[in-house]
Amino acid sequence: MINNYNFNELIGEGTFGNVYSVVEENGDKLAMKIMKKNRLVQHNVPHSTIYKEAKLLFKSRHCGKIITFHDFFEDNYNYYIVTEQCHGSDLFEKLMKVKKFDENSAQFIIKQILQALVYMHQRGIIHRDIKLENIVFKNQHSNEIRVIDMGLAREIAKTNNKCYGKSGTLGYMAPEVFLEGDIEAYSYNADIWSLGVVAFILLTGYIPVTANNDMEGYIRDISNRSFPNFPSKKQEDNNTSEIAKDFVKQCLQINPDKRIEAVQLLMNHPWMCKDVLMSSSSSSNKLVFKPCSPSRKLFPLGSS
C-alpha cells in the first residue's frame, strides 16, 4: 500500500510518529500520518485507539469541514492514515500573529466549526478536543477551515447518548468533563462549550477560564457572575456585538442541559444566521483581521 505514494517532505512531528506530504499515483497531494507501533506501546496507548480514529475519519469523510479521509493501512511496524493536505496554518498560529480576529472573520470560522460539529453529532460522534490547534485553514489564502485530529473522538451509544472519561485540552474542557469526567457521564454539549471557548478567544484574544489543572481556579472563573467576562468597550477597542456575546454565553452555559445543541445554534442563533461579507468563493478569498494593541496578552492555552 505504501508503494502507492511518493514522499515529498516532512510536515509535522509528534509523540507517536510523523506527518509527511505525499503524492498519490494519480497526482493528488495528500498528507500521511505514520504512527510507530512501538511508541504506542511505550506510552500505553491501545492500538484500538488508532482503528477508532480511522473509522471516525471515514464516517466523516463527506462533511467538507472535517479533514477528508483517503486511506488507512498498517504493516508490522506502523499505522498509516492518509488525508487531504491543508497548506494553511492552524488557528493558534494565526492568532499569535494577529492577536484578535475581526468579528466577521470570527463568525465565518465559528460557523464552519459548528457545521462540522452538527455533522459529527448527527452521526453519533463527539470530538472532545475542539481547540485552536485542531482548526486549520485549507490554504494560506483561504478562509475555509478543516477540523482535524479525531484521536480523542468517540462514538456515543444511541441508547443513552453519553460518554465517560476526562479527555481534552486544559482550558477548553467543559465543566462536566474537567471536574467530573471520570465519574459522571457527559454528551455532545461538551463540544459546544469548547466551541464557546474558541469563539471567545477569537473575539477577545483572551481565554475565558484558567488554562491549567487548577480546579479551584477553574471553579472560581466559571462561578463569577459576569462569566464569560468580555472586555468593556473602553478596553482596547473592544467592539464585540451583543449577538456575538450572546452566542458565546449560550455555548458557555455551566449547566450542560441548558446549552443549546449544535444544530439549533447553527439554524437559529442570530449570530450564525447573519450575513457576513465574505465567502469561500470571493475574489480575494482572504480573511479580514482587526489590528490589536501590541500590549494585548493571550493567556497560556494549556497543553495537548
Three cell numbers, residue 240: 464585540
Q: How many Cβ atoms from other residues are within 10 Å of residue 224's Cβ?
A: 12
d(CA 107, CA 185): 31
Annotated catalytic residue 129? yes
DSSP letter for each residue of 17-36: EEEEEEEETTS-EEEEEEEE
Is residue 37 part of an annotated ligand binding site?
no
d(CA 93, CA 271): 25
CA atoms within 13 A on the CB side of 259: 24
Q: Which of 129, 149, 237, 275 is catalytic?
A: 129
Contact of 301 with 130, CB cutoff 8 Å: no
d(CA 128, CA 188): 9
The closest alpha carbon to 88, from 145, 161, 153, belongs to 145
Q: Is 217 helix (H, G, I), strand (E, B) or coil?
A: helix
Contact of 249 with 224, CB cutoff 8 Å: no
d(CA 25, CA 27): 5
Q: With the C-alpha atoms ordered 118, 120, 126, 132, is the resulting torsion angle positive or negative? A: negative
Q: Is 134 helix (H, G, I), strand (E, B) or coil?
A: helix
Residues with catalytic annotation? 129
Residue ranges for the known binding site for ATP are 33
| Residues annotated within a binding site | 33
